Amino acid sequence: MTQVRVRFAPSPTGFFHIGSARTALFNWLYARHTGGTFILRIEDTDQARNSEQFLQLIYDSMTWLGMDWDEGPNPNGVGERGHFGPYRQSQRGDIYKQYKQKLLDNGRAYEKDGAIWFKMLGERYKIFDEHRKKEVEKVKIDPVVIDDKIRGKVERQEDEDFVIFRSDGNPIFHFVNVVDDITMQVSHVIRGDDHLSNTSKHVRLYEGFGVTPPVFAHIPLILKSPEMGTGKMSKRDKGALIEEYQQRYFLPEALVNYISLLGWNAGDDREKMPIADIVKLFDLPGVNQSGAKFDGKKLNHMNMVYLLEQPADRFVALAKTYFAKQSNGAAAMANEAYFREIMLLAQPKIKSIDELGAYTAYFFTEEFLIDAKVKEKVLAKGDPKARLIELIAAVPTMDFSSDATIEAGIKTLAEGKGLGFGDYQAVARLAVTGTNAGPSITAIFRVLGKERTSERLKKLLVTD
């Protein structure tokens, strides 16, 4: 068994999207599963569309998702690792020239109109192509048979010469892709289904170089969800960009877990599982053949499940990075212990980190908003004003040392009036948070302290 060498070969011509991430992930998983090598190769031959910004985004996204590469440019873009470089196609011009010459020398390439064409072998004839509205020259030739690890045997006729070097001197994708895979000794090409039709070209190129092609494995595409329309997921679709999840403070391991399930499963009912288990179980024959529609709701759910089980320290650290980026810096500047206490109250209640701001706002300012609808609702029920007055009177003598003592205090008050805890809860919550949602009211009282609790209760009474 030869050593597994796989590569992920993005081009820095746009945002890093979920389809790219999944292709990268399947390559990475296969490398880690087999103990092979994962190569990151930058396909930046399209000088008109490349950008340094997008190149950096590739490094950042890969790193954030936890997909480390054994060979390729360094994550900071300075220098590189591995012995098969350079790993940026823009720096491999000499290698391409050399390989172009090989084809020129062995008669498999020729020049026409300033471009270099790859020559198919066989009897030639001309035919008018209705689709392209021009006459094309075709070659009578046997179909290429691709023994795909995921799709099985696929046959396709490749019966036209094609350009491998543009007249401006730059090589074309098919050519560089194959040359790089040869020189980097790539053993398995795992890529999107959209390349399946190209593969016959690639096989002919390998043949032209006299090299045995690698194993191919074409994974199904990620499609738009029904509400987004039809077709494959594109960079313009909502939820398609990795960057977006990073900015929304999704947990990368949740995102990785979710996308691993798009076209693959563990073989049992398990869905949420640590990356080590996915690595252990992942294999090419287990990959599905049909396209998977993207479901943002399931991803949200996965993220929530991961968030709930985060250790306190990691959650608080995540919350800190989130608040540090918010325009209102009050939370980020808050006392460490106070901040931590609040975040841990919020953790079991929120579905994503980016809800934290709104969810905990009232802890960090006295100028929090009162939700008008909630207010209307709460004030319409029972005699909230009387309850408020009673609370204001009772709070100064209550024991604020723990949730339990506060609960006892309110219950004592309630019992004295022949009422229940619930009769005070809603109006108290409205007064101190402005909402009808949040952690337990006793915890909020305790964290706010007697002073601020009293102030807020009084404030509502006055403004009411």
- Shortest distance (Å) from residue 183 CB to RNA: 16
Judged by CB under 7 A, which of 298, 320, 452, 458 binds RNA?
A: 298
- Shortest distance (Å) from residue 265 CB to RNA: 4
Decide if residue 3 touches RNA (CB under 7 A).
Answer: no
Decide if residue 180 touches RNA (CB under 7 A).
Answer: no
Retrieve residue 63's tokens: 């790193």
Which x/- pattern over 52-91 shows residues binding RNA (rule: CB under 7 A)? Answer: ----------------------------------------
How far apart, in whole angstroms, are the C-alpha atoms of residue 227 and residue 237? Answer: 11
What residues contact 454, with CB distance under 8 A and at least 6 apart?
392, 395, 396
Which one, 105 or 113, has the nearer CB to RNA? 113
Residue range at the interface with RNA (CB under 7 A); choices 52-60, 235-243, 297-305, 392-400: 297-305
How far apart, in whole angstroms, are the C-alpha atoms of residue 90 and residue 78? Answer: 15
- Shortest distance (Å) from residue 169 CB to RNA: 9
* Positions in 379-418 near RNA (CB under 7 A): 403, 407
Retrieve residue 38's tokens: 């994962």
- Shortest distance (Å) from residue 193 CB to RNA: 6
How far apart, in whole angstroms, are the C-alpha atoms of residue 278 and residue 102? Answer: 42
* Positions in 327-366 near RNA (CB under 7 A): 348-351
- Shortest distance (Å) from residue 203 CB to RNA: 13
Decide if residue 43 touches RNA (CB under 7 A).
Answer: yes
Which one, 162 or 206, has the nearer CB to RNA? 162
Judged by CB under 7 A, which of 78, 132, 135, 335 binds RNA?
A: 132
Q: Which of 235, 272, 351, 458 is catalytic?
A: 235
Amino acid letter at 156? R
Confirm if 20 and 260 have CB atoms less than 8 A apart.
Answer: no
Judged by CB under 7 A, which of 246, 265, 405, 454 binds RNA?
A: 265
* Positions in 420-449 near RNA (CB under 7 A): 421-422, 425-426, 429, 436-443
Which one, 36 or 164, has the nearer CB to RNA? 164
Say how many residues touch RNA, by CB under 7 A: 85
CB count in 10 Å sphere of residue 342: 25
For helices 199-209 and 173-183, angle between their N-to-C axes, nearest 10 degrees: 50
Confirm if 46 and 177 have CB atoms less than 8 A apart.
Answer: no
Which one, 286 or 449, has the nearer CB to RNA? 286
Which one, 20 or 37, has the nearer CB to RNA? 20
How far apart, in whole angstroms, are the C-alpha atoms of residue 162 and residue 237? Answer: 32
How far apart, in whole angstroms, are the C-alpha atoms of residue 64 and residue 172? Answer: 31
> Exposed, middle or buried, 102 (CB in 10 Å: 0-12/13-18/19+)?
middle
Confirm if 177 and 186 have CB atoms less than 8 A apart.
Answer: no
Decide if residue 121 touches RNA (CB under 7 A).
Answer: no
How far apart, in whole angstroms, are the C-alpha atoms of residue 241 and residue 15? Answer: 7
Residue range at the interface with RNA (CB under 7 A); choices 54-62, 92-100, 303-311, 387-395: 303-311
Decide if residue 34 touches RNA (CB under 7 A).
Answer: no
The three state secondary structure string of 211-261 is CCCCEEEEECCEECCHHHCCCECCCCCCCCEHHHHHHCCCCHHHHHHHHHC
Backbone φ, ψ for residue 37 (5° rounding): -110, 135
Which one, 108 or 202, has the nearer CB to RNA? 202
For helices 296-308 and 252-260, angle between their N-to-C axes, nearest 10 degrees: 130
If we measure between CA atoms, which residue out of 252, 286, 285 comes closest to residue 266?
A: 286
Judged by CB under 7 A, which of 51, 197, 321, 402 binds RNA?
A: 197
Amino acid letter at 256? V
If we measure between CA atoms, which residue out of 452, 382, 385 comes closest to residue 420?
A: 382
Confirm if 27 and 8 have CB atoms less than 8 A apart.
Answer: yes
Judged by CB under 7 A, which of 292, 356, 361, 431 binds RNA?
A: 292
* Positions in 145-164 near RNA (CB under 7 A): 151-152, 154-157, 162-163
Is position 119 annotated as part of the catalytic site?
no
Which one, 13 or 56, has the nearer CB to RNA? 13
Decide if residue 130 touches RNA (CB under 7 A).
Answer: yes
- Shortest distance (Å) from residue 3 CB to RNA: 26
* Positions in 208-227 near RNA (CB under 7 A): 220-221, 223, 225-226
Residues with catalytic function? 235
